[in-house]
């Protein structure tokens, strides 16, 4: 009792301690002490206040962070009513410039330049830990937002991941960020540096692999930065971005950096809906350095001044008069020559030489000439041997830098033909940049370009993807490209991406873009469309792959069906689902008020209605097929009478006012004859439209239900008309032999007057037309020959269904119309509910059929067991990043067991080499046998896919495997030097290096498979295989990470 406080009843001295805490209040007013009698009331009052405060706080949190599961539907509905189309995406005013220096007490990073308004807007949102999407032109400064996020993450002592679509960009960002922030890590396919750093740079594929494997890297992760997120449009790799965004944990915020795209807010809405968190969109069309676009028609020093400005930097309007001047200049020089005559190689070389000399005189260097062909670049570079753009001081700097970089190579690698050629080319201030160039030489080129020592760069489109290297001038050698299937014009986004490299911020007032017109001027509308057209939309290329299915099933944290449902491809349907839920509630209430038909005669009326709908649809399909012929097309001209049958006008007489073909589909404009006040009693409800169409199929035995009562064609009262646009062939019940004599062109103009000047409209011509239509008492239908099997089979279906319709007793009921109306409302409501249930189910998902078939293939090949649990083969396949099924089959069939290490590596090269055309390799008997065995095992998978219906046949299955570098890789694995193996192929050096480095990634994955199956000897063999190819120039370290 001595150690217990009398009022609080707490121990003053803890057990085992010599002294404790005094609870007595000092310097307190005695009257403020709560007496023992007052305590209960005071405590109740305090608890009440705490409860109220807690409710307010919870409501505040709920409004800031919407619930993920429960209450989600209510949240969505509220969003619909409050914010309209967008609920999760919020567009910020990029022109509004907030004062971040007063709103943020301590900035995480101080930039040495004035920030643009859109950058300040984004930085403010980063401090609120919000998702941000920035869409801006190339070189506008999107990277500033990424850099601030890294600095803020360091300030919070959390982690941040920066992802890029290409390894070269990852390496470049590693160097840039390391200089600014110090502790930075890099993870790509072949490089791992400082993987525990708070800022990690990696390719998007590496992040996807980490998420699938349950890496704990996300534990302290605050942000993931997706640079060049418009790469989601890539057909092959775009799916990776979608998978990563879907799988990222809720606590991780995302920063999306994109070029200007048309539907940026739609994409942000999808991201927000997926992450259940707002996404703030900052988009700016403003360029820091405005562009001016030109056409160049010159072909010599004499005509080198033929530069025509078609778009100015100030008003951005297309100057048609400049285009005409360019056209005239070209036409004057081409007099007497063939328009389609292609310039010779010598003429093209002279054109480029005179053009470059013009740019040098006009101070338009440095310049990047985009040439969309590797072969053309190499050819042109060899032809520029007389061009020298550097002074002696610059030559010395270039030579010293190259010697320092190339000096890291060993032996004969220093004297490779490409290296010797490029050293000489670089010394003259000229460089080339494409996938066939050795990675080391590409990096040397990039670094010299950054230093301003490269005056002329010949590059392919990949140079514009991500690598931030602006220039004074951008030149298009051609505006046509081969996209793998055909030759086509550049689209607006491709053109903007490349042209956007023109203009160096702080150095140039304007950027110059020039299109070379070598003997041929682009079409006017093509130029306007390309330069000023709408940017390409971000679109989904999501697809259910074997790797995705197996990886998701392995984790079991997410259903594959949920992955499909949350994809960007399903975004529009998910938005519609909000309306489906409201519609379902409405229909359920209606169903409670509807009663079934209680009539002994109409006991089959429900089935009559269902079969009637089938009949109506068959009729429509038959009409569209039978009328879609040239013979009938000649008849469908203004003045021809028709019988149409639509939901609104079942079996009504009409006359053609106009006929046109849009997108290969014939559309008609009709004047439809109907009774006065007919439309006032007609509902536009689809269910009532079905009921009207089915109701007219009232048939009796022996009467063809396809022949409607002709009395329906003529109004019994005063006639009126309706104008129907966009009527399709399937809406025509019959084409009549009759034609009206009225001037239909005059009727068309008369109806236009009704539309635009209704007060002064003269109805007399239309009334005359209606009277003439009323005089058709016995319409005669034009008969068509049905002479092809497809139409004959369809006609048989129609007649068979017609026979079915004549057997129902309900048509004999005296209250047939009333009972059909009653039954149709009930049945239509039930059908609509079934439709909504289907739309909200997994079965309605776009990729559900393909997913189900792929699962069947996996079961057949024993990757999945009961309950779709992963078997050993399934777990092994998850370790692969490419061709997972093929490699797993090779492993489990002991394909590698008796193969020499060199032969094994050589055959596997067919899975990473992608070039379609190259010289044919000479294979040893061992390699030929290995190739045959490889294709035999790979065909096993194709057979399973054909049997399950995933593919129609196995005709093209070998196309995915290219054996063009088998001999080269075999010799490399045997230890031959790089200069020696180049004699056995015509493939560029850079392509060979990329193939072998990707092959090493495959070998490391197979090594993981060996560890999963527990084969120590095989694991050791794969380690040796990796060591045989991992040497010399092929695996020379990147200059960016040194």
C-alpha to C-alpha distance for 359 and 362, rounded to whole angstroms: 5
Q: From residue 67, give the alpha-carbon distance in Å to each of 74, 126, 557.
A: 10, 22, 19
Contact between 459 and 433 under an 8 Å Cβ cutoff? The reply is yes
C-alpha to C-alpha distance for 917 and 907, rounded to whole angstroms: 18
Chain-centroid distance of CA 193 in Å reads 31
Of residues 459 and 764, the one with the higher pLDDT is: 459
pLDDT at 27 over 50: no
Mean pLDDT on 486-491: 87
- The pLDDT value given to residue 325: 93
Of the pLDDT bands very low, low, confident and very high (cuts 50, 70, 90), residue 1033 is: very high
Q: From residue 245, give the alpha-carbon distance in Å to each of 256, 271, 575, 779.
A: 10, 7, 18, 63
pLDDT at 702 over 60: no
Structure tokens at 360: 């040098």
pLDDT at 200 over 90: yes
Block residue for tokens 């986004």: 493
C-alpha to C-alpha distance for 921 and 901, rounded to whole angstroms: 19
Of residues 978 and 710, the one with the higher pLDDT is: 978
List beta partners, residue 187: 192, 202
Q: Which residues contact 147 (CB under 8 A, 6 or more apart)?
A: 109, 177, 180
Pairing between strand 487-489 and 480-482? antiparallel
- 756-792: per-residue pLDDT in tens? 666 777 888 888 888 888 887 777 788 777 777 888 8
pLDDT at 18 over 70: no
- The pLDDT value given to residue 802: 85
Q: Which residues contact 955 (CB under 8 A, 6 or more apart)?
A: none
Contact between 514 and 307 under an 8 Å Cβ cutoff? The reply is yes
**Terminal-residue alpha carbon distance, the chain:** 73
Residue 318 is given by DSSP the state B
- 161-170: per-residue pLDDT in tens? 999 988 888 9
- The pLDDT value given to residue 558: 84
Pairing between strand 640-644 and 732-739? antiparallel
Block residue for tokens 């590698």: 896
Mean pLDDT on 318-344: 78
Longest alpha-carbon distance in the chain: 121
pLDDT at 1013 over 70: yes
pLDDT at 26 over 50: no
Q: How many CA atoms lie within 13 A of 876 on its CB side?
A: 23
- Greatest mean pLDDT range, 101-105, 533-537, 971-975: 971-975
- The pLDDT value given to residue 703: 39
- The pLDDT value given to residue 331: 85
Of the pLDDT bands very low, low, confident and very high (cuts 50, 70, 90), residue 664 is: confident
Residue 11 is given by DSSP the state B
Contact between 729 and 666 under an 8 Å Cβ cutoff? The reply is yes
Mean pLDDT on 208-232: 90
% of the chain exceeding 90 in pLDDT: 46
Of the pLDDT bands very low, low, confident and very high (cuts 50, 70, 90), residue 984 is: very high
DSSP string, 566-615: TSGGGHHHHHHHHHHHHHHHHHHHHHHH------SGGGGHHHHHHHHHHH
Nearest to 355 by CA among 475, 458, 453: 475
- The pLDDT value given to residue 704: 45
pLDDT at 316 over 90: no
- The pLDDT value given to residue 746: 85
- The pLDDT value given to residue 341: 56
Of residues 557 and 546, the one with the higher pLDDT is: 546
Mean pLDDT on 448-469: 87
pLDDT at 710 over 90: no
Of the pLDDT bands very low, low, confident and very high (cuts 50, 70, 90), residue 269 is: very high
- The pLDDT value given to residue 28: 41
pLDDT at 45 over 90: no
From edge to edge, which strands make up the β-sheet containing 640-644? Answer: 719-727, 665-675, 652-662, 640-644, 732-739
Mean pLDDT on 1027-1033: 93
- The pLDDT value given to residue 701: 39
- 137-179: per-residue pLDDT in tens? 888 889 999 999 999 999 999 999 999 988 888 999 999 999 9
Which helix (H) or strand (E) element contains residue 824?
helix 816-839
Nearest to 489 by CA among 504, 506, 476, 502: 476
List beta partners, residue 476: 370, 515
Structure tokens at 308: 């025509």
Mean pLDDT on 974-998: 94
Mean pLDDT on 514-539: 89
Q: Which residues contact 385 (CB under 8 A, 6 or more apart)?
A: none
- Greatest mean pLDDT range, 150-154, 614-618, 671-675, 792-796: 150-154
Nearest to 646 by CA among 726, 575, 718, 589: 726
- 874-898: per-residue pLDDT in tens? 999 998 888 899 999 999 999 998 8
pLDDT at 862 over 50: yes
Length of the chain: 1042
Burial of 757 (0-12, 13-18, 19+ CB in 10 A): exposed
User: Which of 132-146, 367-381, 647-661, 855-869 is predicted least confidently?
Assistant: 647-661
pLDDT at 55 over 60: no
Which helix (H) or strand (E) element contains residue 739?
strand 732-739
pLDDT at 302 over 50: yes
Mean pLDDT on 965-982: 95
C-alpha to C-alpha distance for 211 and 551, rounded to whole angstroms: 10
If DSSP codes are grouped into helix, strand and coil, which group holds residue 431? strand
List beta partners, residue 132: 255, 280
% of the chain exceeding 70 in pLDDT: 86
C-alpha to C-alpha distance for 322 and 308, rounded to whole angstroms: 6
- 631-657: per-residue pLDDT in tens? 888 888 899 998 888 877 877 889 999
Structure tokens at 801: 């269904």
- The pLDDT value given to residue 1011: 92
From edge to edge, which strands make up the β-sheet containing 511-516? Answer: 307-311, 291-296, 511-516, 473-476, 367-370, 456-459, 430-433
C-alpha to C-alpha distance for 232 and 468, rounded to whole angstroms: 19
Q: Could you tell me the sign of the dihedral formed by the alpha carbons of 186, 188, 190, 192, in that order? A: positive
- The pLDDT value given to residue 699: 46
3-state helix, strand, coil in the chain (%, to 5): 50, 15, 35
- The pLDDT value given to residue 72: 40
- The pLDDT value given to residue 748: 82
Of the pLDDT bands very low, low, confident and very high (cuts 50, 70, 90), residue 282 is: very high
């Amino acid at each position: 009792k001595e150690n217990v406080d009398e009022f609080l009843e707490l121990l003053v001295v803890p057990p085992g301690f010599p002294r404790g805490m005094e609870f007595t209040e000092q310097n307190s007013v005695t009257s403020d002490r709560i007496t023992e009698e007052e305590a209960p009331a005071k405590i109740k009052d305090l608890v009440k206040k705490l409860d109220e405060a807690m409710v307010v706080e919870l409501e505040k949190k709920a409004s800031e962070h919407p619930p993920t599961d429960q209450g989600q539907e209510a949240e969505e509905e509220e969003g619909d009513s409050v914010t309209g189309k967008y609920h999760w995406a919020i567009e910020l005013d990029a022109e509004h410039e907030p004062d971040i220096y007063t709103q943020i007490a301590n900035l995480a990073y101080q930039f040495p330049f004035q920030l643009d308004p859109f950058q300040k807007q984004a930085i403010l949102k980063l401090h609120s830990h919000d998702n941000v999407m920035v869409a801006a032109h190339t070189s506008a400064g999107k990277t500033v937002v990424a850099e601030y996020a890294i600095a803020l993450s360091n300030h919070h002592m959390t982690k941040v991941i920066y992802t890029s679509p290409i390894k070269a960009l990852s390496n470049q960002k590693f160097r840039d960020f390391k200089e600014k922030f110090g502790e930075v890590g890099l993870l790509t396919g072949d490089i791992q540096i400082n993987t525990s750093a708070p800022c990690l740079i990696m390719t998007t594929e590496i992040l996807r692999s980490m998420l699938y494997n349950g890496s704990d890297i996300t534990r302290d992760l605050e942000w993931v930065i997706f640079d060049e997120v418009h790469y989601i449009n890539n057909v092959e790799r775009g799916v990776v971005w979608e998978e990563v965004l879907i799988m990222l944990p809720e606590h991780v915020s995302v920063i999306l950096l994109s070029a200007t795209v048309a539907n940026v807010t739609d994409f942000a809405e999808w991201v927000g809906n997926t992450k259940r968190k707002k996404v703030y969109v900052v988009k700016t069309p403003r360029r820091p350095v405005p562009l001016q676009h030109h056409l160049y028609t010159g072909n010599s020093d004499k005509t080198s001044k033929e530069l025509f400005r078609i778009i100015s930097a100030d008003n951005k309007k297309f100057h048609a008069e400049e285009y005409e001047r360019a056209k005239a200049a070209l036409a004057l020089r081409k007099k007497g020559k063939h328009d389609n005559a292609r310039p010779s190689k010598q003429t093209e070389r002279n054109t480029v030489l005179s053009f470059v000399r013009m740019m040098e005189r006009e101070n338009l260097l440095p310049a990047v000439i985009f040439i969309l062909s590797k072969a053309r670049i190499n050819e042109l570079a060899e032809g520029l041997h007389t061009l020298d753009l550097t002074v002696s001081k610059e030559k010395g700097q270039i030579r010293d830098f190259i010697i320092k970089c190339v000096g890291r190579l060993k032996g004969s690698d220093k004297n490779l033909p490409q290296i010797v050629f490029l050293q000489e080319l670089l010394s003259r201030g000229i460089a080339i940049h494409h996938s066939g160039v050795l990675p080391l030489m590409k990096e040397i080129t990039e670094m010299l370009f950054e230093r301003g020592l490269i005056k002329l760069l010949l590059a392919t489109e990949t140079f514009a993807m991500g690598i931030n290297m602006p220039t004074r001038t951008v030149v298009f050698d051609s505006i046509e490209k081969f996209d793998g299937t055909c030759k086509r014009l550049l689209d607006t986004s491709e053109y903007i991406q490349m042209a956007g490299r023109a203009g160096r911020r702080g150095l140039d007032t304007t950027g110059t873009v020039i299109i070379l017109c070598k003997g041929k001027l682009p079409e006017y509308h093509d130029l306007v469309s390309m330069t000023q057209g709408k940017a390409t939309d971000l679109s989904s290329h999501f697809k259910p792959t074997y790797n995705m299915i197996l990886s998701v099933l392995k984790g079991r944290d997410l259903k594959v069906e949920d992955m499909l449902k949350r994809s960007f491809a399903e975004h529009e349907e998910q938005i519609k689902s909000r309306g489906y839920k409201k519609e379902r509630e409405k229909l359920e209430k209606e169903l409670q008020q509807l009663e079934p038909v209680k009539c002994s005669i109409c006991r089959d009326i429900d089935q009559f209605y269902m079969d009637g709908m089938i009949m109506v649809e068959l009729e429509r399909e038959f009409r569209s097929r039978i009328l879609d012929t040239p013979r009938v097309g000649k008849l469908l001209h203004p003045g021809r009478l028709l019988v149409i049958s639509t939901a609104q006008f079942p079996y009504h007489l009409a006359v053609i006012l106009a006929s046109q073909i849009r997108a290969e589909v014939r559309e008609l404009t009709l004047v439809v004859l109907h009774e006065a006040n007919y439309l006032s009693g007609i509902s536009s409800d689809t269910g009532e439209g079905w009921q009207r169409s089915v109701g007219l199929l009232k048939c009796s035995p022996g009467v063809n239900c396809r022949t409607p009562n002709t009395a329906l064609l003529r109004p019994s009262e005063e006639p009126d008309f309706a104008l129907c646009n966009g009527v399709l062939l399937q809406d025509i019940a019959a084409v009549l032999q009759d034609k009206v004599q009225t001037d239909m062109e005059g009727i068309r103009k008369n109806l236009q007057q009704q539309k635009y000047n209704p007060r002064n409209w003269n109805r007399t011509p239309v009334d005359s037309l209606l009277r003439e239509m009323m005089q058709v008492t016995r319409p005669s239908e034009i008969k068509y020959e049905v002479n092809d099997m497809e139409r004959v089979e369809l006609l048989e279906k129609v007649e068979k269904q017609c026979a079915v319709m004549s057997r129902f007793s309900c048509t004999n009921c005296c209250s047939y119309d009333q009972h059909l109306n009653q039954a149709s409302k009930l049945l239509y409501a039930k059908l609509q509910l079934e439709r909504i249930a289907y739309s909200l189910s997994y079965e309605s998902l776009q990729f559900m059929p393909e997913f189900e078939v792929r699962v069947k293939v996996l079961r057949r090949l024993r990757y999945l067991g009961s309950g779709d649990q992963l078997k050993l083969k399934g777990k092994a396949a998850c370790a692969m990043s490419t061709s997972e099924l093929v490699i797993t089959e090779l492993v489990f069939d002991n394909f590698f067991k008796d193969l020499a290490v060199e032969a094994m590596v050589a055959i596997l090269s067919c899975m990473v080499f992608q070039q379609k055309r190259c010289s044919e390799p000479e294979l040893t008997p061992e390699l030929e046998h290995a190739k045959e065995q490889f294709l035999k095992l790979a065909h096993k998978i194709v057979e399973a896919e054909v049997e399950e219906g995933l593919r129609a046949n196995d005709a093209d299955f070998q196309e995915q495997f290219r054996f063009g570098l088998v001999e080269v890789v075999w010799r490399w694995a045997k230890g031959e030097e790089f200069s020696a193996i180049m004699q056995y192929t015509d493939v560029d050096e850079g392509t060979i290096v990329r193939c072998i480095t990707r092959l090493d990634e495959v070998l490391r994955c197979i090594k993981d498979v060996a560890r999963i199956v527990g084969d120590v000897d095989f694991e050791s063999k794969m380690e040796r295989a990796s060591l045989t190819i991992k040497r010399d120039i092929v695996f020379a370290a990147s200059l960016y990470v040194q």
